[in-house]
Amino acid sequence: MKFPEFMKTLDKNSSQIFLLGGEERYFIDRAKSKILEKIFPDKSEIEVGLTRVDDMNPADLIITAQTVPFFSSRIAILLEHTTLFKDSDSKDKSIDRLTKFFEKIPTSTFIIFVTDSKPDKRKKIYKAVDKFGAILESDPLRPWEIEPWFNEKIRELNLNFNKDAREYFLSAIAGLDPISLNFLSGELEKLPLFIEGNLVTRENLEEIFSTLPEISNFALNEEISKKNANRAIELLRRQIHDGVFLPLIVGMLAKYVRQLIQTKIWIKRGTRGKNLGKPLEMNPYVAEKLGQTSEKFEMQTLEDSYLKLCDADYLFKTGGAGAELLEEVVLKLCR
């Protein structure tokens, strides 16, 4: 199950076996903390009751799980980077013994499996955990899925984003794909150092995010959308001066131009406003704003610019061109 549902059902869940699997560590870390709080209401028992290892083979896991707790009321085994859920099943009989052990696990024993990638649902052990335990599917969020998490996070931090700040944040992270929630969470947690009270403005966010290539490129895209050539060239040169990898700038600018092309195609088909969000896989607000921006550009200009950016990418990687190609594209888009 996904993170919100997993966390809601955790208090009511009597499971002793958990699998936290996927690429988004933010969800895994929070689920893991919640599970340990549930197992050890008395935090002092964690030190003596928790066995934390990277991985463990099935035979050793069974032996460890049968240990009688001495200095705590329960024991928990946390396998931080288990490989038991990768690839298809082998003929290893110890896996069969482990899955059968799940049926009669001691009431004082808890097992928490953590895997860094998506677990293989074909495996016997996965099916056994699904039957006797609880599974968290910790998939990364995409930019168009971020708003519920964002709302919850700012409530947790007791922050109040004004309209401009909220619009800036949701638009700026549209360029981050996939999104690292641990990174975003850390950046949002810095905000109290930059504000008075709890009101967050666009200026606060610009101050914090200005050094990030993806966000500074968002600022460049905004100036291009306004046809502000001087400011756009200034931002481009600043990125180059700051040492941002040229192919990264090209890639992010090409992505923006490609989005404008796709937006114009969908508008021509009759999709407008917030309805652009679904086909473009964006937050509806961001998609609506992109739709308004796309009307400022001729399709031919966008297509020509995209092709030139593809050429620039190849030339940059083979040492055949300099930053003047990028400036040429930016000026073309701002005309």
In this prediction, residue 71 carries a pLDDT of 83
Give the least confident one: 20-24, 72-76, 115-119, 213-217.
Answer: 213-217
Where residue 183 falls among pLDDT bands split at 50, 70, 90?
Answer: confident
Average pLDDT over residues 190-206: 87
Looking at CATH, the fold of the domain delimited by 227-335 is given as: Zinc Finger, Delta Prime; domain 3 (1.20.272)
In percent, the amount of the chain with pLDDT more than 90 equals 51
Average pLDDT over residues 157-174: 88
Whether residue 89 is predicted with pLDDT greater than 60 in this model: the reply is no
Where residue 13 falls among pLDDT bands split at 50, 70, 90?
Answer: confident
Domain boundaries, the chain: 3-138, 140-209, 227-335
More confident residue, 93 or 297: 297
Average pLDDT over residues 158-180: 83
The CATH code that applies to domain 140-209 is 1.10.8.60
243: left (phi over 0), alpha (psi -120 to 50) or beta: left
Where residue 176 falls among pLDDT bands split at 50, 70, 90?
Answer: low
Whether residue 177 is predicted with pLDDT greater than 70 in this model: the reply is no
Tokens read off for 17: 């076996």
**Which residues are registered as beta bridge partners of 18?**
112, 134
Where residue 210 falls among pLDDT bands split at 50, 70, 90?
Answer: low
CATH of 3-138, one of 1.25.40.20, 3.40.50.300, 3.40.50.2300, 3.90.1150.10: 3.40.50.300
Strands 17-22 and 160-161: unpaired
Rounded Cα gap, residues 227 and 108, in angstroms: 66
Rounded Cα gap, residues 17 and 4, in angstroms: 19
In this prediction, residue 195 carries a pLDDT of 87
Residue 113 and residue 79 in contact, taking contact as beta carbons nearer than 8 Å:
yes
Rounded Cα gap, residues 10 and 141, in angstroms: 21
For the segment 94-124, what is each residue's pLDDT rounded down to a tens digit? 899 999 999 999 999 999 999 988 898 989 9
Rounded Cα gap, residues 103 and 97, in angstroms: 10
